[in-house]
Amino acid sequence: MSRPSLFDLTGKTALVTGANTGLGQAIAVALAEAGAGIIAVGRSAMDETAAQVAAAGAPFHAIRADLSGVAAVAPVMEQAQATGARVDILVNNAGIIRRADAVDFTEADWDDVMNVNLKTTFFLTQAVGRSMIADGLGGKIINIASLLSFQGGIRIPSYTASKSGLAGLTRLLACEWADKGINVNAIAPGYFDTNNTEALRNDPKRNADILARIPAGHWGQPKELGGAAVFLASAASDYVHGVVLPVDGGWMAR
C-alpha cells in the first residue's frame, strides 16, 4: 500500500499567471504533473500549455487577460470561480521587463513594468487571499521574484524596483496570513533561457560574463524551476512562510 506523498497536489487547483510560455508554462506543467488542475492566465494563446497539462492528465482552463491594469483582476476572478474549482494555489508569474540606462529611462516604461509586476500582482493576490480567508481553508501563494530582488542589476530600474518590492510584499503577506493557513513565499529564478533573457543571451559579452558566474555552468531551463514550485505549493512546505527561494544554479552563492 503506497503512502500519500507530501508533494501530491491531487484535488488542488492552481491559478498560474503568464502561463502561456517560459517559466509560467513550466510551472503550470510541473504542478499538473503533481496532480493539480490548472487555471492558466495569459495574454496570448495557451494551446501549447494546454496540451502539456492534458498530457499530464490534469484539468485545464485558459483565461485570456491583460494584467497591465487592476481592471483585469475582477474578470479573472469571475472566470476562475465560474470553473467551479476553488483556487488553492496562486502563482504570480506574469511579468515584463524594459531595458534602458537609468538616465534615459521613461515614465511610461517605469509605469508599464510596475503595473504588471507589482501593482496588479498585489491586487490579484488580495482577491485570492480574501477568498482563501473567507472559506477558512487556507492556501498557497507563490510569487515569482528574481535575483534582482537581492541585487541591483543594470539598465532595468523598474524591473529591479518591482522585484525588490515583490520580495517585500511576500514577507508582509506571510506575516499577515500565516496564521490563517495561507503560505506566502516566492521563488527567485536565476538566469533562465526565456524570452525575457533573449537580449542577454544574444549579447556575447553579457552572455559570457553571466555564464562565468553561474557555478552550474549553464543557463537554467524552465523545467528546472518546477520542483521548487511543487514544493511551495504542497503540504511539504506547510511551515515555510515568507521565504524568497533562489533557484539560480548557485549564482547567489558565488
Q: Are 77 and 134 in contact (CB under 8 A)?
A: no
Give the Cα separation of 6 and 211 in Å (integer).
35
Q: Are 15 and 89 in contact (CB under 8 A)?
A: yes
Give the Cα separation of 141 and 124 in Å (integer).
11
Q: Are 188 and 244 in contact (CB under 8 A)?
A: yes
Residue found under cell 492558466: 40
DSSP, collapsed to helix, strand or coil, labels residue 3 as coil
Name the packing angle between helices 22-33 and 226-233 (round to 10°): 50
Catalytic residue check, 159: yes
State the DSSP string of 50-85: HHHHHHTT--EEEEE--TTSGGGHHHHHHHHHHTT-
Catalytic residue, candidates 159, 192, 219, 231: 159
Residue 34's nearest CA partner among 6, 72, 1 is: 6
Q: Are 190 and 145 in contact (CB under 8 A)?
A: no
Residues marked active site are found at 159
